């Protein structure tokens, strides 16, 4: 099903160009099982095909691919951010005692890292790295109630870097982009599993400590 949807997005992008990338990125962000590299790498492969490295080509990559992709991901991520933002505190208030968490601890942690902009840098870096699942970052920011204005700014800038990197890779490696895309998708899955294991380990540690 999702393979067919990915192919549909690629055809949509071929027909509508930058507008297709924008709407495709929104859809890609909301529907988590779609690899977060699909739209950017697929669009770059078709749009940048046969383009030689030059200032004009990099400008084309930035304006026609990276910018609309970053805007689409930022808008799409607001849905995940908003849902978790609303449900995060009620969830912790109800189930936190079983997980060794309290909302007060979460607020103190967010406040501590926000004072020196470390949270902004961390989120920007996570957004810029192709192997970190975007939906995880959006959910995390919503969970800690990260400031919405800072969230939008950092998400857009980080995704802009990510989109440019992925676009450049697909452009330069041509038909190999599908293999690269597959490898990155697997890397994202490994990161998600690793994060789940870390959370489970943290819960066990808290219970053991008590």
What's residue 182's pLDDT? Answer: 54
CA angle 119, 134, 89 (to 5 degrees): 60
d(CA 9, CA 208): 48
d(CA 92, CA 56): 51
pLDDT digits (tens, 9 = 90+) for 172-190: 776 555 555 555 555 555 5
For the chain, what's the residue count? 210
What's residue 83's pLDDT? Answer: 87
The lowest-confidence range among 80-89, 106-115, 155-164 is 106-115
- How large is the average pLDDT for residues 49-70? 88
pLDDT digits (tens, 9 = 90+) for 114-139: 666 788 888 999 899 877 778 888 88
What's residue 132's pLDDT? Answer: 77
CA distances from 11 to 15, 83, 120, 155, 202 (A): 6, 30, 36, 27, 44
Tokens matching residue 147 = 């400031």
pLDDT digits (tens, 9 = 90+) for 19-59: 888 988 888 888 755 666 777 877 787 787 777 888 898 99
pLDDT digits (tens, 9 = 90+) for 159-170: 999 999 888 888
Q: 25 is in which domain, residue-wise?
A: 2-209
- Supply φ then ψ for residue 78, to 5 degrees: -65, -30
Q: Is the pLDDT of residue 78 over 90?
A: yes
Q: What mean pLDDT is reported for the chain?
A: 75
Residue 9 contacts residue 46 (beta carbons within 8 Å): no
Q: How confident is the model at residue 76 (pLDDT cuts 50, 70, 90)?
A: very high
**Number of compact structural domains in the chain:** 1
Residue 166 contacts residue 128 (beta carbons within 8 Å): no
């Amino acid at each position: 099903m999702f393979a067919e949807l990915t192919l549909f997005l690629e055809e949509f992008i071929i027909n509508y160009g930058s507008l297709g990338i924008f709407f495709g990125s929104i859809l890609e962000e909301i529907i988590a099982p779609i690899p977060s590299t699909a739209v950017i790498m697929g669009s770059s492969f078709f749009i940048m095909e046969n383009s030689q490295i030059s200032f004009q080509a990099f400008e084309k990559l930035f304006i026609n691919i990276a910018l609309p992709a970053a805007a689409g991901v930022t808008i799409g991520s607001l849905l995940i951010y908003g849902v978790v933002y609303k449900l995060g505190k009620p969830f912790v208030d109800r189930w936190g005692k079983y997980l060794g968490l309290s909302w007060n601890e979460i607020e103190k942690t967010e406040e501590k890292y926000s004072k020196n902009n470390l949270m902004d840098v961390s989120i920007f870096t996570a957004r810029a790295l192709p192997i970190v699942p975007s939906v995880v970052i959006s959910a995390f920011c919503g969970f800690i109630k990260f400031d919405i204005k800072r969230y939008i700014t950092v998400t857009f800038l980080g995704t802009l870097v990510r989109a440019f990197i992925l676009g450049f890779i697909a452009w330069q490696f041509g038909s190999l982009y599908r293999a690269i895309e597959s490898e990155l998708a697997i890397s994202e899955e490994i990161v998600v599993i690793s994060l789940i294991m870390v959370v489970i380990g943290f819960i066990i540690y808290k219970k053991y400590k008590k």
